């Protein structure tokens, strides 16, 4: 049996953006596919940029999407003792060493390499080697701890997205793993965490490709098994530019606020970087069953807002009307909707949802049922002609005791039309105006049923 343990390891420096959400989704689905474990780890060691609000925002985004974790959240800031212990073990084992070079000295080394036309790097002054005498330890300086990176050979891994990637060890510096005050550094913490949390598969953004060889070398040095790595290409905005919060909607909760449903975002992100034949619309249960790392796309994926809107319309049509009502109600209240004596909100939304691409559009379109209608007098005069008035009076009369169902109303309206020699729009248009103040509404019989007898009669009689 394959044991699968994946993790999502966001740095809490902002909101949950689409790229992060997709990484989380794939890691989650991969664990679910194998009945494995999905771990949430908060990489909060960057004290200047990490905030509790950002942790909250990540949790909110994950919850909204329904991406539940099995272990964690683990906070790196709470694991400092563990990192220090591993640093101590590495010093002991000789896989790491104290380096007393000052920042200025290291800068001077880097400049020297640059002048020689080589990659700027640390020159190994304090790197212990057999038979080498190290400089005298300066009394007044706290050392950093550097990782003794292998000097020869390559680091190579079979990336599940990008194929084999090979980096020469000569490209890699002796990385600082602990600062002068003892605090551990980023790549080191990630390696220790992936080891301790027994991560088997690391899926993450390809902005981390450069970190991977460093982490692999550290994992090898501490005797940890290597996870498989997959680096997901970035998500581009609809304009083909890198997704950025300045120019695009980039945060998951922004899409929530625009009226996209979580199932839409999940389905959309699932396809944005992975495929299963021509399947476009599928549930998360289906996705977890299908998801594999063989069909991840290695090229950048571009957002397509039309497709997203189409997908959202699909899920809005499938959604329970009462759920849509809960989502739409707050914004309709803000728009001044009057729910007293009005039709049932869920039913009204059900009538309008066919054409809505977002919940916000749906809420806006349903407002016509929850405002006091104020028909434009000129329009009313145009549609409520003398030829129409008698038909309207008959219609109102018959409304008094007819059952308010489409089945009963539709034939009654036809009879009234026939008796007065009118065509459907001649009666439907003034009715729409009187009932909603608008000429565009769903089918008139559906609108009548929705308003119900009392409201219909009250509004129509005003004009008789």
Segment interacting with ligand GLU (CB under 6 A) among 6-14, 77-85, 252-260, 391-399? 6-14
Listed in sequence order, the residues at least 6 apart from 119 whose beta carbon sits closer than 8 Å to its beta carbon are 113, 171
Q: Which is nearer to ligand GLU, 273 or 375 (CB)?
A: 273
Q: Are 193 and 162 in contact (CB under 8 A)?
A: no
> From CA 147, how far away is CA 91, in angstroms rounded?
9
Least Cβ distance, residue 251 to ligand GLU (angstroms): 14
Q: Are 16 and 64 in contact (CB under 8 A)?
A: no
Least Cβ distance, residue 343 to ligand GLU (angstroms): 47
> From CA 214, how far away is CA 186, in angstroms rounded?
11
Least Cβ distance, residue 168 to ligand GLU (angstroms): 22
| DSSP designation for 371 | S
End-to-end CA distance of the chain: 78
Segment interacting with ligand GLU (CB under 6 A) among 8-16, 84-92, 270-278, 351-359? 8-16
Q: Which is nearer to ligand GLU, 31 or 337 (CB)?
A: 31
Of 437, 431, 326, nearest to 383 (Cα)? 431
| DSSP designation for 426 | H
Q: Which is nearer to ligand GLU, 209 or 457 (CB)?
A: 209
Least Cβ distance, residue 122 to ligand GLU (angstroms): 24
Residues 163-222 within binding reach of ligand GLU (CB under 6 A): 190, 204-205, 208
By the rule CB under 6 A, 11 interacts with ligand GLU: yes
Q: Which is nearer to ligand GLU, 190 or 266 (CB)?
A: 190
Kindly tell me which residue out of 4, 6, 10, 348 binds ligand GLU, with binding defined by CB under 6 A: 10
Kindly tell me which residue out of 24, 26, 31, 43 binds ligand GLU, with binding defined by CB under 6 A: 43
HEC string of 156-222 equals: EEEECCCEEEEEEHHHCCCCEEECCCCCECHHHHHHHHHHHCCCCEEEEEHHHCCCHHHHHHHHHHC
Listed in sequence order, the residues at least 6 apart from 214 whose beta carbon sits closer than 8 Å to its beta carbon are 147, 149, 172, 175, 187
**Burial degree of 62 (CB within 10 A; 0-12, 13-18, 19+):** buried
Segment interacting with ligand GLU (CB under 6 A) among 9-17, 83-91, 224-232, 239-247? 9-17
> From CA 464, how far away is CA 391, in angstroms rounded?
11
Least Cβ distance, residue 242 to ligand GLU (angstroms): 15
Q: Which is nearer to ligand GLU, 215 or 358 (CB)?
A: 215
- The residue number whose beta carbon is nearest to ligand GLU equals 204
Q: Which is nearer to ligand GLU, 46 or 111 (CB)?
A: 46
- How big is the site for ligand GLU, counted in residues (CB under 6 A)? 8
Chain position carrying tokens 């005797």:
223
Q: What's the number of CA atoms in the CB half-sphere (13 Å) around residue 193?
A: 30
Least Cβ distance, residue 211 to ligand GLU (angstroms): 7
Least Cβ distance, residue 49 to ligand GLU (angstroms): 11
Q: Are 445 and 413 in contact (CB under 8 A)?
A: yes
Least Cβ distance, residue 154 to ligand GLU (angstroms): 21
Least Cβ distance, residue 160 to ligand GLU (angstroms): 14
Least Cβ distance, residue 210 to ligand GLU (angstroms): 12
Q: Are 278 and 272 in contact (CB under 8 A)?
A: no
> From CA 272, how far away is CA 302, in angstroms rounded?
8
Enumerate binding residues for ligand GLU (CB under 6 A). 9-11, 43, 190, 204-205, 208
């Amino acid at each position: 049996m394959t044991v699968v343990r994946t993790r999502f390891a966001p740095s809490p420096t902002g909101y949950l953006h689409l790229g992060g959400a997709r990484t989380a989704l794939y890691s989650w689905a991969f664990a679910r596919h194998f009945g494995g474990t999905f771990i949430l780890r908060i990489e909060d060691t960057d004290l200047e940029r990490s905030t509790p609000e950002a942790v909250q925002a990540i949790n909110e985004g994950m919850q909204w999407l329904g991406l539940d974790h099995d272990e964690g959240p683990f906070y790196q800031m709470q694991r400092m003792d563990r990192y220090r212990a591993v640093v101590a073990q590495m010093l002991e084992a000789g896989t790491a060493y104290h380096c007393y070079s000052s920042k200025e000295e290291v800068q001077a080394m880097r400049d020297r390499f640059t002048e020689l036309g080589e990659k700027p790097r640390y020159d190994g002054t304090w790197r212990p080697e057999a038979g080498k005498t190290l400089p005298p330890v300066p009394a007044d300086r706290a050392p950093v701890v550097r990782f003794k990176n292998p000097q020869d050979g390559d680091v190579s891994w079979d990336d599940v997205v990008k194929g084999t990637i090979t980096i020469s060890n000569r490209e890699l510096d002796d990385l600082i793993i602990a600062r002068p005050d003892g605090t551990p550094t980023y790549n080191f913490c990630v390696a220790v965490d992936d080891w301790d949390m027994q991560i088997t598969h690391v899926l993450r953004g390809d902005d981390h490709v450069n970190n991977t060889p460093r982490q692999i070398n550290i994992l090898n040095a501490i005797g940890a098994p290597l996870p498989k790595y997959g680096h997901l290409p970035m998500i581009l905005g609809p304009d083909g530019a890198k997704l950025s919060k300045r120019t695009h909607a980039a945060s998951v909760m922004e899409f929530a606020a625009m009226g996209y449903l979580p199932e839409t975002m999940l389905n959309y992100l699932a396809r944005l970087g992975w495929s299963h034949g021509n399947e476009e619309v599928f549930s998360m249960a289906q996705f977890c069953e299908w998801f594999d790392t063989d069909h991840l796309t290695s090229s950048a994926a571009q957002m397509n807002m039309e497709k997203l809107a189409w997908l959202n319309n699909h899920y809005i049509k499938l959604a329970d009307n009462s759920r849509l009502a809960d989502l739409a109600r707050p914004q309709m209240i803000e728009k001044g909707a009057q729910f007293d004596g009005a039709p049932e909100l869920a039913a009204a939304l059900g009538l309008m949802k066919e054409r809505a691409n977002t919940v916000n559009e749906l809420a806006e379109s349903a407002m016509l049922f929850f405002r006091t209608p104020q028909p434009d007098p000129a329009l009313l005069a145009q549609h409520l002609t003398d030829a129409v008035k008698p038909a309207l009076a008959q219609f109102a009369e018959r409304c008094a005791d007819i059952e308010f169902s489409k089945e009963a109303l539709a034939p009654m309206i036809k009879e009234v039309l026939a008796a007065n020699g009118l065509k459907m729009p001649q009666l439907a248009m003034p009715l729409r105006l009187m009932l909603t103040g608008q000429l565009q509404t769903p089918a008139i019989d559906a609108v009548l049923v929705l308003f119900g007898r009392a409201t219909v009669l009250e509004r129509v009689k005003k004009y008789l």
